[in-house]
Amino acid sequence: MINFLQEVLSYEFMRNALLAGVIVSAACGVIGTLVVLNRIVFISGGIAHAAYGGVGIAYLLGLNPVWGAVGFSLLSSLAMGYVHRKEKSRSDTIIGVMWALGMALGIIFVSLSPGYKADLMSYLFGSILAVSTADLWLMLVIAVVVLAFVLVFYRLLLAISFDESFSTVRNVPVGLLSMAMIVLIGLTVVISMRVVGLILVIALLTIPPAIANLYVREMRGIMLFSIGLSLLFTISGLLISYALNLPSGAVIILVASLAYAVAAAFRQISARSKMRKETQNAKNGFEVIR
């Protein structure tokens, strides 16, 4: 095992990949918790898929696809956030249309751009082994912005996550904070794009917080637990993919999905065992009273 780790760390691309996994795990653990608690998984999925339109535009204009994804994800975040706030009854339908529109535009723009697009699939399914030093710096800057925002506005985010109506009555700027949160989701999607791809990023955002929420109720605890789980899934998935020569993004999500299945099953078994124990104690108490 030690020899295997030494071999892995001897390559610069693997060191970059591991650093990218650490940075993305921190951002996804925090933002993913807000996504799960605020029940806006569909919006995060819409932003992730719509961002492909920015990749296509960047290819057509000869620009860096990452910056195209940044711009398009920010625009789609604002648009979807506005729709979610103003058209609650129809927001799922409209966001679904925007989701499909972004993907369609991306495909059309890519097809119109000249030349062979060798690395196109990496934006859809991830290419963590191709993360460059410039990518790492962009990931780090965005992750710091995300973490700083959550740290500064933690109490307000906690309030709107658990009781939006009461927060509105208390004059908390719910609309502004919600829009800012959705924009941060868009930025987190962009930095996760290189790790697991736009297709699978919704899983990295939601699975760790979903597991944490099975066992933890306090938001700070869910965030910390989610960061730890994201790190575990990303690093273990990366090492497994390297050892078996498999696509890293898919392996990371497979590991996370299996962990969720195990955690949910264990939670259900534990709940049933607790219920049986409480029932037995109640019966014993009733016999004592008689």
Mean pLDDT, the chain, integer: 82
Helix and strand element counts for the chain (H, E):
13, 0
Q: State the Cα–Cα distance between residues 187 and 88, nearest whole angstrom.
A: 23
Please name each of the domains of the chain with its CATH number: 2-289 (1.10.3470.10)
- Is the CB of residue 74 less than 8 Å from the CB of residue 47? no
Residue with token string 């129809």: 90
Output the furthest CA–CA distance in the chain (Å, rounded).
86
CA distance 225 to 45: 22
Tell me the C-alpha distance between 187 and 146, whole Å.
8
**Residues 73-132 pLDDT 10s:** 888 888 888 887 777 667 778 888 888 888 888 888 888 877 666 566 777 777 777 777
Q: What is the pLDDT of residue 228?
A: 92
Question: With contact defined as beta carbons under 8 Å apart, do 56 and 109 qualify?
Answer: yes
Give the separation between CA 96 and CA 89, rounded to whole angstroms.
Answer: 13
Q: How confident is the model at residue 284 (pLDDT cuts 50, 70, 90)?
A: low
Residue in the block written with tokens 């939006």: 164
pLDDT tens-digit readout, 233-268? 998 988 888 888 888 888 888 999 999 999 989 888
Pick the more confident residue, 278 or 208. Answer: 208
* Average confidence (pLDDT) over 202-224: 90
Query: pLDDT value at position 257?
Result: 92
Convert the pLDDT of each residue in 25-63 to its tens digit: 899 899 999 988 888 888 888 888 888 888 888 888 888
Radius of gyration of the chain (CA): 21
DSSP string, 25-65: HHHHHHHHHHHHHTT-HHHHHHHHHHTHHHHHHHHHHT--H
Q: Which of 4-8, 117-121, 207-211 has the lowest mean pLDDT?
A: 117-121
